[in-house]
Structure 1
Amino acid sequence: MKLTIPNILTLFRIVLIPVLVIGFYLPYMWSNFLAAFIFAVCAITDWADGWIARRYGMYSAFGAFLDPVADKLAVAVALFIVVQSHPTVWLALLSAVIVGREITISALREWMAEVGQRRQVKVATVGKVKTVVQMLAIVFLVYRDDVFGLPIFTIGEWLLAVAAALTLWSGLAYLRAAWPAFRGEGRQPGPAASAGAGSDPAAGAGGAENS
């Protein structure tokens, strides 16, 4: 297997996840800045690997599998450490909505691929907006200190609330798109469907998927 630049960026993002956790809990005044910076790098590489994959056609089956895994791992781990350090019902509920939706949609995509309907659950614009708001919210929550009198953590909480609302909105859009397949109206699984289920390079190869 030949590693492409998008794949290398995705692997780098996964390597940064334990570094994020360690940086967050370092007993230094600048640990919050380090952790926020690391997550920001994760968010930037998430965008970069997708742009490079689309711009230069560097799609691969490995990238299609790995990129959404890296994205969801980074978001879930970041939310876990934020909730652990600020254990409020509000943050726990918002985080549960976001992580729960990611698990649900991942399972939905896998099932839709099995029945040959993977193209019916394309990434919508609201999903892309949700990703941007969510990443910004987590950077603020991880940084957590006020800046020039601005309540960064509180702003992060409200941005996370917006991201959670967009998460539910986009999740319902995916479920609505998949509803005909649930009712048995789509193409049934078979050798041809299985062969074509993962052949769509635009479905997430190398970072093309921001849901």
Structure 2
Amino acid sequence: MNLRSGRLNLPNMLTLGRVAAIPVLVILMLFDSREAGFWAAVVFGLASLTDWLDGYLARKWEIVTVLGKFLDPLADKLLVMAALIMLIPMGRVPAWAVFLILAREITITGLRSIASSEGIVIAASDLGKFKTIFQMTAIPGLLLHYDYYWLFGLRWELFHVNMHNFGIFFFWVAFVMTMWSGGDYLVKFFRVISR
């Protein structure tokens, strides 16, 4: 099997792995315990790393496929939205903010489809890329949630981090970036369409 060609090349398989991680993440989050949160953060973190790795390999090996272009952003959105929706009943993120993030994602995906059907490509902005990075930094913190001492368990205050505070800080940064990049995309879309 050649991992550099065909639909089931390695980057696409990594993307599919990210999709397959979603039910595992959701099941772990149903338990709402410190241990389950730790393993959910591990699953989310590994899945997030595949996002970087599949893009890196696709560029390095020059294997950009239609399936990959469709699946990669879809996998990112499904992973992030599954985690954020599951965090709502735990009381770790406000439902209204998750709704606005979800509405932004659906709106931009719809506009991208319209532009694409007209043969117009509106490139993803750096704002959108930063938004994804901040989301994927916030969510593990929100999953870990509790206080951790990050030097081999030694209870030194210097290495003490409340992971919920860490996660919620990056969540709000990601929220601002999400709304900002959504507005930026809307402006670009209407500017291009009006031509």
TM-score > 0.5 by shorter chain: yes
Tell me the TM-score normalized by structure 2.
Answer: 0.86
2:190 maps to which residue?
A: 179
Looking at structure 1, the residues matched to 27 and 126 of structure 2 have their Cα atoms a distance apart, in angstroms, of 34
Provide the C-alpha distance between the structure 2 equivalents of 1:59 and 1:181, rounded to a whole number of angstroms. 25
Q: What is residue 123 of structure 1 aligned with on the other side?
A: 124
1:4-23 paired onto structure 2 within 5 Å: 4-23=9-28
Q: Indicate if the aligned counterparts of 1:133 and 1:162 stay in contact, CA closer than 8 A.
A: yes
Distance 2:34 2:162 in 1: 18
Residue of structure 2 equivalent to 1:188 = none
CA contact (8 A) 2:7 2:67 kept: no
Pick the aligned partner of 1:73 from 72, 78, 99: 78
Query: Could you tell me the percent identity over the aligned residues?
Result: 36
Partner of 2:95: 92
Q: d(CA) in 1 for partners of 2:43 and 2:57?
A: 21
Change (3 A) 1:32 1:102: same
1:176: Cα distance to partner? Answer: 1.2
Letter in 2 for 1:18: P
- Per the alignment, residue 39 of structure 1 pairs with 44
RMSD: 1.6
Q: Distance in 1 between matches of 2:86 and 2:34?
A: 17
Which residue does 1:168 correspond to in 2? 179
The Cα of 1:173 is off from its aligned counterpart by 1.3
Gap regions ≥5 residues in structure 2: 1-5, 150-159
Aligned residue pair count: 180
Contact 2:15 2:51 in 1 (8 A): yes
Runs of 4+ in 1 over 4 A off after TM superposition: none
Counterpart position of 1:208: none
Offset from partner CA, 1:84-139 (integer Å, 9 cap, x none): 2117xx62122122211111110010000111212xx2111121111111101011
**Larger RCO, structures 1/2 (Cα 8 Å, 6+ apart):** 1
Match of 1:146 in 2: 147
